């Protein structure tokens, strides 16, 4: 019940001139807020805004890690489906088809792992600069 009371249900629509919007964008970029809505809400409610505190390289790192996690989850799902299929095979013909598909999946998996390794290397190089 408390979650429903804390939800924001009212919309506020505002029209701005391009230069006004650009000014807000500049202030937002200097803030530690991750979303424009959070920044504007804090500004309107006169809550303190933290400027120049957010570590942008850490944000970039987190974005890359999210992408890598999604890739690894997809690989894991494919592998689980393959193993599940292996357990349901009844005939030799099906097994041969599975082996062919497995070799293709293995190549794709190898390519994805190489891609992940390259991204991690890029992140490490940026981090150590």
Residue 51 lies in a domain: no
User: Does residue 107 lie in a domain region?
Assistant: yes
Residue by residue, DSSP assigns 19-53 as: HHHHHHHHHHHHBS-SSHHHHHHHHHTT----BS-
Question: What is the tally of structural domains in the chain?
Answer: 2
Is the separation of the CB atoms in 69 and 50 below 8 Å?
no
Q: Does a structural domain hold residue 35?
A: yes
Write out the residue range of the structural domain in which residue 88 sits.
Answer: 56-127
104 within domain boundaries = yes
The string of pLDDT tens digits covering residues 28-80 is 888 878 888 888 888 888 887 766 555 667 777 778 888 888 888 888 788 77
pLDDT tens per residue across span 1-39: 455 567 888 888 889 999 999 999 988 888 878 888 888
- Check: pTM over 0.95? Answer yes or no: no
Both 76 and 100 in one domain: the answer is: yes
The continuous run of DSSP H or E covering 57 comes out as: helix 56-88
């Amino acid at each position: 019940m408390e979650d429903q009371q804390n939800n924001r249900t009212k919309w506020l629509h505002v029209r701005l001139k391009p230069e006004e919007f650009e000014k807000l964008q500049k202030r937002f970029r200097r803030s530690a807020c991750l979303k424009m809505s959070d920044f504007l809400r804090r500004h309107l409610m006169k809550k303190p805004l933290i400027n120049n505190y957010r570590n942008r390289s850490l944000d970039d790192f987190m974005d890359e890690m999210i992408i890598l996690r999604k890739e690894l989850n997809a690989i894991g799902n494919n592998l689980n489906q393959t193993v599940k299929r292996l357990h349901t095979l009844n005939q030799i013909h099906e097994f041969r088809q599975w082996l062919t598909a497995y070799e293709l999946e293995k190549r794709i998996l190898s390519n994805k792992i190489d891609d992940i390794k390259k991204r991690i290397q890029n992140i490490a190089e940026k981090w150590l600069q």
